[in-house]
Structure 1
């Protein structure tokens, strides 16, 4: 299927919500924590954007963080709520949060499904306070497993966009974030810190 109504592959995820957690592995909490540690402020208010059933939120909850799950798939959010997670129904490109209102945003295994990933990163940077971070876990298309995933998603009909770690770091930098590669491999993590106006001119 192709992306529908500017909302990515949401209809597919509505349909598979009940099975999603059975087939997806746990999120890498250690790599996400290393990304969050790139922040220059205490990280307390966190959004799990395109967080689906709350897979990444559950992983971070073991370390004491309780992100709010934000997703456009009502089916996925219903699973997150049933698991006791706080949820918000929203599009990653138009987050219903004020400027500088959270300490961090995580996006796990989801950016490649978004219809406007560059816009989603810019929107995340708007919402995160100076000193906070945007942390994205993605799949490397230049790895053996990554090449297989690219072919599989095309066969399903997804209009997915994948980036190498260097390419995703460039997307972050273009959004005004200071980027750092946190971990590499098939599933890699990039963190981008929101700098203050003063720091950006240093």
Structure 2
């Protein structure tokens, strides 16, 4: 049976994940600062596709509690081996089938994951459900269609290695995708990395009362 979610690849890659992420260290440091500036001490946060927990561990001191999840058991196992603050809990969860109650979180973070999901709209539906009415979505994502020529070549090579990108959005296409799935963009910024990262902060679109 074909593994459309590429879970096997991410399980195997968990041992090399932290080393690989160092190539974009500057961009990720900037991302941590941006995320941290949006968080407050009273927040209960959900991070989806946490990998080995780099973001959650970097911003844990900014919030009350973080539930950090990934669909790869091996990624979560690697995260748990680190020095984990008491307010961070690592669990295995599928972003498209979340088990949490409605409106459970003040903030949901999903970084560089929507573009590698076959059906990212399902993840956004789940995020809509578990996010409080005034909650914030922080969703930085590689926008591969904005790659320069060198980036296009690198992306092609990485796909051969197993880094499958199901969606190669431009910045505008990605923001439109979020809007079409019920979010209002509050901030967007491009971070310079091997591939452009479109950093986005958004909120749920509130239904107008009759």
Question: What TM-score bracket applies, with the shorter chain setting the length?
Answer: 0.7 to 0.9
Partner of residue 121, structure 2:
118
The change in CA–CA distance for 1:67 and 1:164 in structure 2 (over 3 A counts) is farther
CA distance in 1, matches of 2:173, 2:71: 26
Q: Which moved more, 1:173-182 or 1:124-133?
A: 173-182
Instruction: Indicate whether 1:20 and 2:24 are aligned.
Output: no
Does structure 2 retain, via aligned residues, the 8 Å contact 1:49–1:70?
yes
1:56 aligns with 2:55: yes
Question: CA offsets, 1:158-181, max 9 Å, x none?
Answer: 441232221121121112111234
Q: Find the aligned partners of 1:182 and 1:65 in 2 and give their Cα distance.
A: 25
Higher RCO (Cα < 8 Å, 6 or more apart)? 1
- Residue 65 of structure 1 deviates from its aligned partner by 6.0
TM-score by length of 1: 0.83
Extract unaligned runs of 5+ from structure 1.
none
CA contact (8 A) 2:41 2:62 kept: no
1:91-114 CA-to-partner distances (Å, cap 9, x unmatched) read 110111111110111111222222
Q: Partner of 1:174 in structure 2?
A: 180
Q: 2-side partners of 1:61 and 1:154: how far apart?
A: 32
Task: Specify every segment of 5 or more residues in structure 2 that has no aligned partner in the other structure, as ranges.
Answer: none
- SS of 1:67 mapped into structure 2: strand
SS at match of 1:18: coil
Q: CA RMSD in A?
A: 2.6
**Which one of the candidate residues 90, 106, 109 is aligned to 2:109?**
106
Deviation, 1:122, is 1.8
**Mapped contact 1:31–1:183 kept (Cα < 8 A):** no
Q: What number of residue pairs does the alignment pair up? A: 193
Correspondence for 1:155 = 160
In 2, the alpha carbon distance for the partners of 1:100 and 1:14 equals 30
